[in-house]
A and B are shown apart, each in its own frame.
Chain A
């Protein structure tokens, strides 16, 4: 092991590493690719983490342990019980606390010498530019399309790299957007999917360790950018298939016609991203418009009265095992083939988990000629909230 003598400095700031820091980071310092110079780069670096959830957890832990001198964390959410399956910064005792508070405590415990600033706010077009300005690198660990486009556009407008990661069930994607000359998120996906077409984690599920892997990859890329070593993922989309345990790489190109980073950009300021993603119009027009509904309380009242109602459950078999209303199970995807199992002369109440799939089922059956059919508003989740709290929510 080489002997390190004296306290080398980075000439422009005079910042030195203390004896404790040298010991803490010794495993970095003994690598020529990092060394004292690299560790001081990390100490001077300012990284903003957007999102302190599944991706943000491993990301924050690794950036803090690596000695990134200033970390910013943006998240307005509180720790939910269902987060503990994957958001490894949190303990059970953190449930109900703001995520940024719990995250800051955990990261500061790991490394008390770094500066951690928290922003308990929703990232919006009116605050993003000001928030991002002070930081060198932005890491996108968010969980929805409007924010991803917002983060992207703000990074391009401010000329900062955007370390991107995203996940779905067993698959992850990661890359570095807007690294000088490189493509941005809009070059890859000019438009978002319409709402409802791509399921979220709450609807599609996710294997907890997946964001752990992708978030750690984002930490790796961030550290490489700070140190200026290796090949960043700029211009490459890394795809991870956890089930097959395969990594693949696809080439990303900057789109010369990209509205925000192209040769002739048309976007010069942040826009309304909810509108862009088609959500604004959806918010006050529930999916169930035009579809006959029955609330859980109304259903309970009718059942108690002895009404002859047929309960149709359109969820999947594994959901039925979690909890059920003893309905007749026909998963939504099988409904077209199995509609003949239903008696259209009977009154039918269709339900699913939250009321969306069953709304589709009601619509389908109406088109097939069923007249006495209702959607259970809010699904089995609402039943648990309003009628029978002993029914587990998931």
Chain B
């Protein structure tokens, strides 16, 4: 199934600066695997060391959060859009070094 994956601004630098990429995949999980296969740097931003999607990154199939579908096993159709939506807060530096 031809699916489009939307890359959030924060991660575009790890995906060849692209805003979206297209893959053929039968499930959301397969599409993500192809994505991190093509762009290895994305892996650590999307997945923990034990292979789970990071909890501050949400994955949507069209407009629905995959946590409420079949998670990574959610099947895809031609023309579907997978969105990666990380948590953003804007603003201040999180760590202030003590000098």
Q: Residues of A at under 8 Å CB distance from B?
A: 53-55, 142-145, 148, 166-171, 173, 188-193, 195-204, 206, 211, 237, 239, 241, 243-244, 248-253, 277, 279, 282-284, 286-288, 333, 354-356, 377-378, 382
Contact = CB atoms under 8 A, between A and B. Distances in A.
A250 B96 contact: no
Interface residues of B, number: 32
Contacts of B8: 171
Interface in B43-90: 45, 54-56, 58, 60, 63-65, 68, 83, 85-90
Given A143-B89, A243-B9, 17 more contacts: A55-B90, A145-B89, A171-B10, A188-B58, A189-B58, A193-B54, A193-B56, A198-B10, A198-B86, A201-B91, A202-B92, A203-B93, A239-B83, A248-B6, A284-B98, A287-B95, A378-B99
18 contacts: A54-B90, A145-B89, A166-B89, A168-B88, A168-B90, A173-B88, A189-B87, A196-B95, A198-B86, A201-B90, A239-B83, A243-B9, A249-B63, A251-B64, A253-B68, A288-B97, A377-B99, A378-B97
B1 interface: no
B38 interface: no
A287 B97 contact: yes
Contacts of B55: 189-191
Label chain A's interface by main secondary structure. loop
B19 interface: yes
Contact of B91 (A144, A191, A287): A144
Closest 9 CB pairs of A and B: A143-B91, A168-B88, A191-B55, A167-B90, A193-B56, A171-B9, A189-B87, A195-B94, A143-B92
Contacts of B93: 200, 202-203
Contacts of B13: 333
Contacts of B9: 168-171, 241, 243
Contacts of A288: 97
A241 B97 CA distance: 32
A241 B91 contact: no
Contact of A192 (B10, B87, B95, B99): B87
Contacts of A282: 95
Interface of B: 6, 8-10, 13, 19, 45, 54-56, 58, 60, 63-65, 68, 83, 85-99
Contacts of B95: 195-196, 279, 282-283, 287, 356
A141 to B, nearest CB: 9
A200 B92 contact: yes
B89 A142 contact: yes
A33 B98 CA distance: 54
A192 B56 CA distance: 6
Contacts of B10: 168-169, 171, 198-199, 204
B92 A189 contact: no
Contacts of B6: 248
Nearest to B64: A251
A178 B90 CA distance: 21
A206 B90 contact: yes
B65 A53 contact: no
B93 to A, nearest CB: 5
B63 A251 contact: yes
A166 B93 CA distance: 15
A178 B19 CA distance: 31
A387 to B, nearest CB: 14
A282 B93 CA distance: 13
